Amino acid sequence: METSVQQKNYDILAITETWWDDSHNWSAAVDVYKPFRRDRQERREGGLTLYVRESFDCLELPDGGDGVECLWVRIRGKANKADMLVGVCYRPLNQDEDTDEIFCKQLGVVSQLLAVVLMGNFNLPDVCWKYNTAEAVQEVS
């Protein structure tokens, strides 16, 4: 991974479903990047990581504790540029509509305050992203 990242010269990398826990150290660190990590506490799968180029002044925002699996980092703008919020989210296939609604409300609030870049795995197979349509409401088992 590190070779590809260095060749492409990305500023930000997002990884979902890391499956990391406290037994993993930062052996997955990548030179010139600050790693931010949010492991899933209850079970093995899931987990999020953002790598942000070290030259950016950034701050990880605290977890809301609301069941939404997101990791947010605020990047301070340089030379009179506005701050930006970068997020990586993982939405499990079986996530309920209440948690989806909480996430949508959060996104609405933060997008009014800052420019937002959102990446992730949303597990929404019925959504046609090209035409912004959905075939059906997802059934939760």
> What's the pLDDT at 92?
86
Q: What is the pLDDT of residue 56?
A: 93
Q: For 2-134, which CATH superfamily applies?
A: Endonuclease/exonuclease/phosphatase (3.60.10.10)
Mean pLDDT by 10 residues, the chain (141 residues): 64 82 62 83 75 92 83 86 90 88 88 89 83 69 50
> How far, in Å, CA of 52 to CA of 73, rounded?
9
Domains of the chain, by residue range, sit at 2-134
What does the pLDDT read at residue 41? 65
pLDDT at 65: 76
Amino acid letter, 21 = D
